[in-house]
Every structure is written in C-alpha cells, then in structure tokens.
C-alpha cells in the first residue's frame, strides 16, 4: 500500500462529499481525506497498485482538480 499526497481545489465539506461519492467506491483507494484547514487543501490517500495520475483522474471525475 502506498500513500499519495496531492494539493486540490476541494474547498469545503460539500465539495468533499461530492469527491467521496467517487473515491469511496473505488476499490483501489483504500482510505482518503482532505485537509480543509490548510490553504493547499491536501488530499492524502492510501492506495493499492495505483499512482498519482490514477488518483488525479478519480478526483477529476468528481469535478475537482489536483494541482501540481
């Protein structure tokens, strides 16, 4: 299992709930959370057999972006 940490534009609990609909149903993303307090809005995900691009694509499916 790997930990991936990415900056996002997920800004509030409502945004986070929209992302949850995608990430919670992905079997390769085991756990995840977004730090809504930090200015960078860090998303931290524990994943299995995937890389950053996979997580970025999953977040994009929910309508948000991961910043470089």
Q: Encoding tokens for residue 64?
A: 């948000």
31 φ/ψ angles, rounded to the nearest 5 degrees: -145, 160
Kindly report the CATH number that applies to the domain delimited by 2-67.
Answer: 3.30.70.100
Q: What is each CA distance from 63 to 3, 16, 24, 60, in whole angstroms?
A: 22, 11, 15, 5
User: In which band, very low, low, confident or very high, does the pLDDT at 67 lie, cut at 50, 70 and 90?
Assistant: confident
Dist. CA 56–CA 37, nearest whole Å: 20
- Structure pTM? 0.92
- Cα 55–chain centre separation: 6
Q: Structural domain boundaries of the chain?
A: 2-67
pLDDT in tens, 22-47: 999 999 999 999 999 999 999 999 99
């Amino acid at each position: 299992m790997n930990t991936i940490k990415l900056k996002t534009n997920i800004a509030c609990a409502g945004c986070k709930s929209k992302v949850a609909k995608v990430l919670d149903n992905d079997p390769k993303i085991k756990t995840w959370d977004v730090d809504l307090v930090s200015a960078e809005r860090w998303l931290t995900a524990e994943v299995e057999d995937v890389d950053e691009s996979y997580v970025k694509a999953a977040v994009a499916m929910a309508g948000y972006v991961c910043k470089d």
